[in-house]
């Protein structure tokens, strides 16, 4: 049982790290102009040699981008809270009880990641100015989609996990 517990903890920590990197790293959208520097765009900034705020990110025109920002931050926070709740429940629950509360929090984190990545996928053209529309999805975007099934599986593992000796 100790090996299963260690695997679950490592899996949860790995999904939290993926969420942190996907939220913070500046490669949600990558543009390679002909003869120019590569431009990386994340949820807050566009960077080539210098970084500048995403155009109109503070206006109502960028409500979709603000929704992606909020749900990715919420997913990261929920994943971390689920880990701490799991550690608390590990020592507080009676043997044979399930980690339902941890599972619910982790499944909510998974839902937030899915919503954020789906909104970004559907509205990517409205986020970028015309000069950046010819790009492609970057590594942070891919990490967000990879962290979705990881948090989902982690939440489902908590649902079926029983505390044993």
165: helix, strand or coil:
coil
Residues 102 and 84: their CA atoms lie apart, in Å, by 9
- In the chain, the percentage of residues whose pLDDT exceeds 70 is 84
Domain residue limits, the chain: 2-159
pLDDT of 157 higher than 70 = yes
Q: What confidence tens digit (pLDDT) does each residue in 56-104 have? A: 666 666 788 888 989 999 999 999 999 999 999 888 877 667 788 999 9
- In the chain, the percentage of residues whose pLDDT exceeds 90 is 40
Determine contact, residues 57/68, Cβ cutoff 8 Å. no
What values do phi and psi take at 32, rounded to 5? -115, 90
Q: What confidence tens digit (pLDDT) does each residue in 30-40 have? A: 888 777 778 78
Please tell me the predicted confidence (pLDDT) of residue 131: 60
Residues 65 and 118: their CA atoms lie apart, in Å, by 11
pLDDT of 122 higher than 80 = yes
CATH of segment(s) 2-159 = 1.20.140.150
**Residue 15 pLDDT class (50, 70, 90 cuts):** very high
């Amino acid at each position: 049982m100790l090996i299963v517990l260690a695997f679950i903890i490592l899996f949860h920590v790995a999904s939290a790290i993926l969420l942190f990197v996907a939220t913070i790293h500046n490669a949600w959208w990558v543009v390679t102009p002909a003869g120019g520097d590569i431009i990386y765009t994340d949820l807050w900034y566009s960077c080539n040699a210098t970084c500048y705020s995403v155009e109109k990110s503070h206006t109502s025109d960028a409500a979709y981008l603000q929704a992606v920002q909020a749900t990715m931050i919420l997913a990261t926070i929920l994943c971390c809270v689920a880990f701490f709740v799991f550690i608390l429940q590990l020592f507080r629950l009676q043997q044979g009880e399930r980690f339902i509360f941890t599972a619910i929090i982790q499944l909510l984190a998974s839902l937030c990641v899915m919503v954020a990545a789906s909104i970004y996928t559907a509205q990517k053209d409205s986020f970028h100015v015309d000069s950046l529309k010819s790009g492609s999805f970057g590594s942070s975007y891919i990490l967000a989609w990879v962290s979705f099934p990881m948090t989902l599986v982690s939440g489902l593992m908590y649902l079926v996990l029983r505390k044993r000796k």
